[in-house]
């Protein structure tokens, strides 16, 4: 996305080109970051919420209020506030969150893995089902399979996830008892696994805690499936339209005339060409999930980055909001770069 312009086509032909490309990337990334920082900072300062309130609460005396305002640097002109903040961020200091009284980085390290775990599983789910469904729909355009898949996709788009989450809990957790309830673990398993990666599924395996691993799986499976359903809806629709475009091409007609098996035409010839744009779609959908789905996190009491940022924003806890935004920004840019590289390795013309 970000780098699919001229730079991408130059490939790795010459070291000089590679150098220039890297410089380009760095410049673009830096500008994007700076813009991100500035815009978020400004939004944070113009929202009609008093950040001092988040620190001292509604009852503080005028004196305490004023002192805190000065401590937070809110008495300075806006450009100075931004300068101080930017300098600190460049030194790797995101400041302290008012709400959690932790350094923002510590918070992010704690909350982000919960989201990462959820989003990764959801994306795996969405891709594993969404892509085949999209191909199937395109191959059977206009027939009942296509209609059925469209309905599935449409439902995924249009049902509020909040509602679906609650109904999912009601059916699979409360009624059937197939999966565990909200939260990442049962209460009895809290605080047993030491965080290594922060990903419970990985950490519990690394430490050989099978019981905890199973418990974590039974907790994550429902929210991951629901989020996965939403990315499935998106991915299957996009796959379908990419496939339809390819199936209309002349080389497909040629292949059919040559008498190739339909299965081979679809999977080898058409799908091979669909892979390219699909990578970008999947990367974007993954990035979206990594921002954290606030509603899902709320319903499932999932301590993720989405609810962290939202809660901080509603309390004008600007250090936390900015820190979170930077992380999400890094994720977006990182995934864009990754999909770019993948793009290049998949498309022989770009080599």
Partner 1 sequence: MKRSAFTIIGGLVLALSGGIAAAATPPDTVVMAKQIDDIISLDPGESFEFSGSEAIGNMYNRLIGYNLKNVSELYGDLAQSWSVADDGKTYTFKMKPGIKFASGNPVTAADAAWSIQRAVILNKSPGFILAQFGFDKDNVAKKVRATDPSTLVIETEKAVAPTFFYYCLTAVVGSVIDMKTAMAHEKAGDFGNDWLKTNSAGSGPYKLRSWRANESYTLEANENYFGPKPKNKRVIVRHVAESATQQLLLEKGDIDYARNLTKDQLDSLAKNADVKIDKGLKGSILYLGLNQKNPNLAKPEVREALKYLVDYQGIQKNIVSATHAVHQSFLPIGFLGAIEDEPYKLDVAKAKELLAKAGLPNGFSVTMDTRSTSPITDIAQAIQATFAQAGVKLEIIPGDGKQTLTKYRARNHDIYIGQWGPDYQDPHTNAETFAMNVDNSDDAKSKTLAWRNAWNIPEMTKETQAAVLEKDAKKREAIYQKLQREHQKTSPFVIMFQEVEVAARRANVDGFVIGPSFDNNLYAGIAKH
Residues that bind partner 1 (CB under 8 A): 47-50, 53-64, 67, 97-102, 107, 110-111, 128-129, 132-133, 136, 166, 169-170, 173-174, 176-183, 186-188, 190-191, 214-215, 217-218, 221, 225, 298-301, 303, 307-308, 311, 314-316
The alpha-helical segments, DSSP class H, found in the chain are 6-10, 15-46, 51-56, 62-71, 78-90, 104-139, 144-158, 161-168, 200-206, 210-247, 250-257, 262-264, 271-290, 294-299, 305-314, 318-346
Measured from the CB atom, the residue of 19 and 174 that comes closer to partner 1 is 174
Residue 177 CB, shortest distance to partner 1, in Å, is: 5
Q: The tokens of 304 are what?
A: 């993720």
By CB neighbour count within 10 A (0-12 exposed, 13-18 middle, 19+ buried), where does 232 fall? buried
The Cα–Cα gap between 173 and 166 comes to 10
Burial letters for 67-103: b for 16+ Cβ neighbours within 10 Å, e otherwise?
Answer: ebbeebeeeeeeeebbeebeeebeeeebbbbbbbeeb
Residue 63 CB, shortest distance to partner 1, in Å, is: 7
* SS3 at position 53: helix
Measured from the CB atom, the residue of 90 and 176 that comes closer to partner 1 is 176
Residue 18 CB, shortest distance to partner 1, in Å, is: 39
Residue 15 CB, shortest distance to partner 1, in Å, is: 43
Residue 191 CB, shortest distance to partner 1, in Å, is: 7
The Cα–Cα gap between 147 and 85 comes to 53
Measured from the CB atom, the residue of 211 and 345 that comes closer to partner 1 is 211
Measured from the CB atom, the residue of 96 and 269 that comes closer to partner 1 is 96
Residue 8 CB, shortest distance to partner 1, in Å, is: 32
Ramachandran category for residue 195: left, alpha or beta (phi over 0 → left; psi -120 to 50 → alpha)? beta
- Other C-beta atoms closer than 10 Å to the C-beta of 130 total 32
Residue 239 and residue 134 in contact, taking contact as beta carbons nearer than 8 Å:
yes
Measured from the CB atom, the residue of 87 and 128 that comes closer to partner 1 is 128
Measured from the CB atom, the residue of 228 and 329 that comes closer to partner 1 is 228
Measured from the CB atom, the residue of 7 and 306 that comes closer to partner 1 is 306
Residue 23 CB, shortest distance to partner 1, in Å, is: 41
């Amino acid at each position: 996305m970000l780098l699919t312009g001229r730079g991408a086509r130059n490939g790795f032909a010459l070291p000089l080109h590679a150098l220039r490309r890297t410089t380009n990337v760095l410049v673009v990334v830096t500008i994007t970051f700076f813009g991100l920082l500035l815009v978020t900072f400004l939004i944070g300062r113009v929202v009609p919420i008093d950040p001092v309130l988040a620190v001292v609460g509604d009852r503080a005396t005028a004196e305490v209020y004023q002192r805190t305002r000065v401590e937070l640097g809110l008495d300075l002109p806006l450009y100075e506030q931004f300068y101080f903040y930017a300098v600190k961020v460049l030194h790797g200091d995101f400041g302290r969150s008012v709400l959690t009284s932790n350094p923002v980085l510590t918070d992010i390290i704690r909350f982000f893995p919960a989201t990462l775990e959820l989003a990764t599983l959801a994306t795996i789910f969405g891709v594993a089902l969404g892509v085949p469904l999209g191909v199937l729909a395109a191959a059977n355009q206009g027939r009942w399979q296509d209609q059925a898949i469209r309905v599935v996709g449409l439902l995924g788009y249009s049902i509020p996830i909040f509602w679906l989450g609650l109904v999912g809990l009601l059916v699979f957790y409360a009624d059937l008892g197939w999966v565990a309830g909200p939260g990442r673990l049962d209460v009895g398993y809290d605080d047993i696994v030491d965080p290594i990666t922060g990903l419970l599924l990985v950490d519990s395996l690394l430490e050989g805690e099978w019981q905890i691993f199973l418990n974590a799986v039974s907790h994550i499976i429902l929210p991951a499936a629901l989020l996965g359903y939403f990315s499935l809806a998106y991915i299957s629709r996009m796959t379908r339209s990419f496939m339809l475009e390819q199936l209309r091409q002349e080389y497909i007609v040629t292949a059919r005339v040559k008498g190739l098996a339909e299965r081979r035409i679809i999977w080898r010839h058409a799908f091979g060409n669909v892979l390219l744009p699909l990578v970008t779609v999947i990367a974007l959908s993954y990035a979206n999930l990594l921002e954290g789905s606030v509603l899902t996190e709320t319903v499932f009491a999932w301590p993720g980055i989405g609810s962290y940022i939202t809660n901080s924003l509603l309390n004008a806890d600007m250090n936390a909001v900015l820190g979170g935004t930077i992380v999400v920004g890094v994720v977006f840019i990182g995934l864009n770069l990754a999909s770019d590289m993948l793009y290049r390795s998949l498309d022989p013309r770009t080599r």
